Structure 1
Amino acid sequence: MPPPPPPLPDELLEEVFFRLPPDEPEHLLRASLVSKVWLALLSDPGFRARYRDFHGAPPMLGFLCSWRHNSVREVGDNIPHFFPTTKFPARIPDDDWGNFRYAAWDCRHGRVLLGDGSCDPHSLVVWDPMTGCRRELDQPGQVGSTYGAAVLCAVAGCDHRACHAGPFQVAYIGIDTIEEDGECFATACLSLPMSADRSKPCSESRLDKWGDPCSLLRVGGYTPSWDERAPVFVEDALYIKLMYDPGDPIAVLKYNLRSNCLSLIDVPFAGSIRLNAAILMAMEDGTLGFAHVDKVTLHLWSRQGDSDGIGSWTRRTVIDLDNHLPIQIPNKRFRLIGSLGGSDIVFVTMGLDIYEINLKTLRWKMLQKREKLRGLIPYMSFYNPQEKLITGDVAH
């Protein structure tokens, strides 16, 4: 019997493993079970770093939903709902979530920020779907009648491809009316960085320290409606779309995290816009994007030169979606419900169908059917099965 062939060098094995798709994490997990040699190679931090470098931006492993206020929710809906688009097993702790109806407010850098679905000023929760760990934090004192928040990595210079277990911060933005003059003002603040503390149970680790709030910014004569989508993060700033009464134009609220300053930005066109017809985007080229649909036509703009407070919108493209989606229904209207950060990908619904559309290649795919969906918040991360998991958790 001839001797077995010599094993492949680690360099060649790595080249093979690099080509396993990051949005199908089960392939790496199965490969790690073949032998101790493969397990040692795939679990090495150096290989994981090179694997992330090879693929670039993290893939979307699933998404979370924000629900319409009038939607009927079943028993057990007080915990977050994660809808996988891969075989990634998001881990939800099985300990007590209380009576709050938690809803997804934001998802970024491998973490999910949850708030109470009724918008009452209760605690916020930062949840890591990779490990199941969650941290609670109290909202700051300046809770407005309309408010939102975002979660961010707190490591300077991080590429945000494997930082979900590191230090993070939460940005909080509130809008309220001052009774004396009837004007509506916005304010914001940033929490102090919180390091991942694995010496305590996740539910016992709290963050209650917030930085100084920024100066008040007048945003109108009456309180605008908060955008249903998560804030967009571009170049150390958060952007939120504000909706006013029908017939009035919309505006963009910018929170510069570096200078702790709020400002208002005009949208690319004058006039009103119907609900769910426009979204903000973090574009692939690092600019702020604005997408708007008029029946079946999508218009896309990007904003240049906002670092010094002066910027301008440029029209990127106009796309007839009727020519690029498979369903032919008369008088149909699309709703924009989200985007994939750092890409030119948007999510649209028509009826109960959710589509992912790449505005650069015009390729599309159907995600699934959901009803009463208000917004889609993608979860982007490289899967790391070697992460330590919390005790007693279960995957839902």
Structure 2
Amino acid sequence: MPAYPSGHMYNGAVLCAKHGNGGCDHLDCGHGGSFVVVYVDVDTDHVVRASAYSSETRAWGATTSVHVDNFFEDRVSLLAGGALHFALEGGRSILKYDLSRHRLSVIGTPGDFAGMVMMEAEDGGLGFVAVLNGCIYIWTQQQQEVGTTIRWAQHRTIELETVLPRRYRSQSGEVIGFAEATNAVFINRHEGVFVLDLNSRKVRKVGERGDYRNILPYMSFYTPSGRYG
């Protein structure tokens, strides 16, 4: 793959080339299938550049750019609604890269949600979860009417002291992961790492406190039949 010049900070993602047309179940596309690499970086003047590499053409596409107010948050990107999303520091905005139009734009959030973790909403759109003042907030983007601007809607709020055991009811905490398959939130607190099931509202401790920034939950491994052994 041809090298791409890097900026002050960078992020990216590797996608199946058929991500947008429903032609792949994404179970075995990593073995010889076509792929796309999306690379984004930001310079010291807060100008973001982005480009996509195609394994089919073996070349980088045209570069697009946009000005942002902050650098990237230390979070993984999210694929939702035909676009890649990257959280920016401070939690006031999200960088969006449209995969079909190859364009960058900036989405404002409804407040200062530093340390938020993005998630895919039930309708396939963009959402995020964050801890603020002892509460878990879940926001999703919703389109009110056809042709109108997409707005943020507060989907859910949970007070941590109502779900945590009494001995764990300090107000500090940070969301470090979200498991879409089980609708569970991972929270890092002074007492350790907890997982909250949003459906049952049950909480369990899964680890000791550490300097964690991201958790990448997985349910199982997939081994293609006939390829190994």
Residue identity opposite 1:209 in structure 2: A
Kindly indicate whether residue 20 of structure 2 is the aligned counterpart of residue 147 of structure 1: no
Mark the CA change 1:341 to 1:148 in structure 2 (over 3 Å): closer, same or farther: farther
Mapped to 1, the partners of 2:117 and 2:8 lie a distance apart of: 22
The residue that corresponds to 1:253 in the other structure is 95
Mapped to 1, the partners of 2:53 and 2:175 lie a distance apart of: 31
Kindly indicate whether residue 73 of structure 2 is the aligned counterpart of residue 211 of structure 1: no
Mapped to 2, the partners of 1:151 and 1:343 lie a distance apart of: 24
Q: If the length of structure 1 is used for normalisation, what is the TM-score?
A: 0.50
Residue 159 (structure 2) aligned to one of 320, 329, 348: 320
The residue that corresponds to 1:66 in the other structure is none
The 3-state SS of whatever aligns with 1:225 is: coil
The 3-state SS of whatever aligns with 1:170 is: strand
Q: If the length of structure 2 is used for normalisation, what is the TM-score?
A: 0.83
8 Å contact kept, 1:338–1:376: yes
Percent of paired sites with the same residue: 28
Say which structure is richer in strand. 2
Mapped to 2, the partners of 1:352 and 1:389 lie a distance apart of: 43
Mark the CA change 1:308 to 1:260 in structure 2 (over 3 Å): closer, same or farther: farther
Residue 354 (structure 1) aligned to one of 181, 193, 207: 193
Mapped to 1, the partners of 2:27 and 2:220 lie a distance apart of: 7
Deviation per residue, 1:365-396 (Å, 9 max, x gap): 43333622121123455533636349xxxxxx
**5+ unaligned residues in a row in structure 1: which ranges?**
1-136, 178-182, 195-206, 391-396
CA RMSD of aligned residues (A): 3.0
Aligned residues: 224
Residue 49 (structure 2) aligned to one of 180, 187, 190: 187
8 Å contact kept, 1:283–1:344: no
Residue identity opposite 1:171 in structure 2: V
Which structure's CA Rg is the greater one? Answer: 1
Say which structure is richer in helix. 1
Mapped to 2, the partners of 1:309 and 1:227 lie a distance apart of: 29
Residue identity opposite 1:140 in structure 2: Y
Residue 265 (structure 1) aligned to one of 83, 88, 107: 107
8 Å contact kept, 1:356–1:365: yes
The residue that corresponds to 2:135 in the other structure is 297
Mapped to 1, the partners of 2:2 and 2:219 lie a distance apart of: 26
8 Å contact kept, 1:145–1:175: yes
8 Å contact kept, 2:7–2:43: yes
The 3-state SS of whatever aligns with 1:378 is: coil
Mark the CA change 1:254 to 1:296 in structure 2 (over 3 Å): closer, same or farther: same
The 3-state SS of whatever aligns with 1:373 is: coil
Kindly indicate whether residue 75 of structure 2 is the aligned counterpart of residue 229 of structure 1: yes
Higher RCO (C-alpha 8 Å, min separation 6): 1
Mark the CA change 1:238 to 1:388 in structure 2 (over 3 Å): closer, same or farther: same
Mapped to 1, the partners of 2:166 and 2:61 lie a distance apart of: 50
**5+ unaligned residues in a row in structure 2: which ranges?**
none
